[in-house]
Amino acid sequence: MKRALLDESPDQLGAWLTEQGFPPFHARQVYHWVFERRAEDFSTMSDLPKALRGAFGADWEVFSTHVTRHHVAPDGTEKLLLSCSDGRRIECVLMAEEDRRTVCISSQVGCGMGCVFCASGLKGVERNLTKGELVEQVLRLRNLLPAGERLTNLVVMGMGESLANFDPLIAALDWICSPSGLGFGQRRVTISTVGLPERMRKLAALDRQYHLAVSLHAPTEELRNQLVPINERVGLRDVIEAADAYFHRSGRQVTFEYVLLRGINDRPLDASALGDLLQRRKAHVNVIPYNPVPGLPFERPSDEAIRRFVSVVRGKGVSVSVRKTKGREIDAACGQLRRSEAVVQPEAAVAPVI
Ligand code: SAH
């Protein structure tokens, strides 16, 4: 099997070059081609010696995934369904809005958190994505942009629990944010987590500037236990404390995501309890009107119920925004494309890996 360029480092590539009798400085050139010049194949790297391009092509691959589906929605949202080298599938999305170009990437194949309303976790987690597979999603989407356009934002809000795949995720994000990667600002990266307190504290201790979004979805332990089963193990209170700790250490305001489910967590008393919980914190609430998943018994609240919820939370002095739904026509949300594809073409049976 060929070695995946993005799963290794410039030093590892340099060592291989030395072994093959080439100067190691070509490693920097190769990564420059991939990150800056959008090369997807060694044969296009025109300033490398021809023999070296051939040697690379024999032993290495730039991308380890291939594009199985490329959907473009009427609103311009683009979604890629990628097949990994083991046949597993992941999805990632590019959204364009005014001067923003945002990519949303997956962190795992499937998800082990089991949030009851979410399509990604229906079959559990299959495996973590590698550093290279994470970086690759960003580069493949970036390469869809017209020449000269740059990505402005990166969110880890696709399939999977981001902080359950901690080291590869941080390695990938750090690389993307480094000058030898895409030179992306850490503050333009959002890591969304179900709320794993120990991992949130570990992230705080790294002293990065990544923006943290915590999927709260309920203002009380009881309701959160029902919607986010992992809460029975971690507890809402510790999630909030870890979010506070992240804010104090990084200085970055934490966002709390709140999926609004009709008749379940959208009542005025839920809004009021949420407002009370977050009132004295420098926090922001991002309300996500539910994107219905076929086969699951949840519904999106009416626009009126959404407005009412927001105004009660805001009335408590908490900053709130409502997330716009993008790319609905192409199943762009949350593990849905992979799932609808699976009906047509069942995925290989695989043992789950935590
Ligand atoms: N594991 C991470 C990333 C999940 S996806 C986390 O839990 O934050 C990002 C957000 O979308 C999460 O808040 C998740 O709960 C939410 N989500 C999942 N399915 C959804 C759906 N069908 N409609 C709306 N939001 C959904």
Q: What is the reported pLDDT for 240?
A: 98
pLDDT of residue 346: 30
Q: Which residues contact 126 (CB under 8 A, 6 or more apart)?
A: 88, 108, 109, 110, 350, 352, 353
Sign of the dihedral through C-alpha 330, 119, 299, 115: negative
- Whether ligand 1 lies within 6 angstroms of the CB of 259 is answered as yes
Share of residues in the chain with pLDDT > 90 (%): 89
290, 320 contact by CB (below 8 A): no
Q: Is ligand 1 within 6 A of the CB of residue 286?
A: no
Distance from the Cα of residue 315 to its chain's centroid:
31
User: Please, is 340 exposed, middle or buried when counting C-beta atoms within 10 Å of its C-beta (0-12, 13-18, 19+)?
Assistant: middle
CB of 106 shorter than 6 A to ligand 1: no
Q: Which residue is associated with the tokens 């076929």?
A: 294
Per residue in 168-215, pLDDT (tens digit) is 999 999 999 999 999 999 999 999 999 999 999 999 999 999 999 999
**What is the band of 325 on the pLDDT scale with cuts at 50, 70, 90?**
confident
Summarised one tens digit per residue, pLDDT across range 220-247 is: 999 999 999 999 999 999 999 999 999 9
Ligand 1 centre distance from Cα of residue 181 (Å): 28
**Does ligand 1 lie within 6 Å of residue 162's CB atom?**
yes
The yes-or-no verdict on residue 354 having pLDDT over 60 is no
82: pLDDT strictly greater than 50: yes
* pLDDT confidence of residue 348: 29
DSSP string, 186-230: GGGEEEEES--HHHHHHHHHTT---EEEEE---SSHHHHHHH-TT
**Span 313-331, average pLDDT:** 85
pLDDT of residue 353: 31
- What pLDDT is stored for residue 350 in this prediction? 31
Among the atoms of ligand 1, which is closest to the Cα of residue 257?
13
- Using a 6 Å cutoff on CB, does residue 227 contact ligand 1? no
pLDDT at 343: 37
> Do residues 184 and 154 make contact, with C-beta atoms less than 8 angstroms apart?
yes
Q: For the segment 15-66, what is each residue's pLDDT rounded down to a tens digit?
A: 999 999 999 999 999 999 999 999 999 999 999 999 999 999 999 999 999 9
The 8-class DSSP code of residue 61 comes to: E
Mutation choice for ligand 1 from 288, 296, 324, CB with most ligand atoms inside 8 A: 288
Looking from the CA of residue 293, the nearest atom of ligand 1 is 22
**What's the gap in Å between 11 CA and the centre of ligand 1?**
37
Q: Pick the atom of ligand 1 nearest to 298's CA.
A: 22
The backbone region for 6, taken as left when phi is positive above 0, alpha when psi lies in -120 to 50, beta otherwise, is alpha
Alpha-carbon distance of 268 to 295, in angstroms, equals: 27
Question: How far, in Å, from the CA of 41 to the mean position of ligand 1?
Answer: 34
Residue bearing tokens 């890996």: 353
The dihedral region occupied by 61, where left means phi > 0, alpha psi between -120 and 50, and beta the remainder, is: beta
Give the up-direction half-sphere exposure of residue 94: CA atoms within 13 A in the CB hemisphere.
22
In angstroms, what is the span from residue 52 Cα to ligand 1's centroid? 44
Q: Which residues are catalytic?
A: 91, 334
pLDDT for the residue 345: 31
Q: Are strands 100-104 and 89-97 parallel, antiparallel or unpaired?
A: antiparallel
Q: Is the CB of 30 under 6 A from ligand 1?
A: no
As beta bridge partners, residue 69 has 81
**Ligand 1 centroid distance, CA of 231 (Å):** 15
pLDDT above 70 covers what percent of the chain?
Answer: 92
pLDDT for the residue 23: 97
- Is the model's pLDDT at 338 over the cut of 70? no
Centre of ligand 1 to C-alpha 314, Å, is: 22
For position 324, what pLDDT does the model report? 84
Q: State the DSSP code for 5.
A: G
Burial 183-207 (b: 16+ CB within 10 A, else e): ebebebbbbbbbbbbebbeebbeee
**More reliable by pLDDT, 302 or 344:** 302
Indicate whether 351 pLDDT > 50: no
Q: What is the largest CA-CA distance in the chain?
A: 70
Sign of CA dihedral 263, 269, 272, 278: negative
Query: What is the structure's pLDDT at 352?
Result: 31
Q: What is the mean pLDDT of the chain?
A: 93
Q: Is the CB of 156 under 6 A from ligand 1?
A: no
Does residue 192 line the site of ligand 1, with CB under 6 A? yes
Q: What is the DSSP string of 40-59?
A: -SGGG-TTS-HHHHHHHHHH
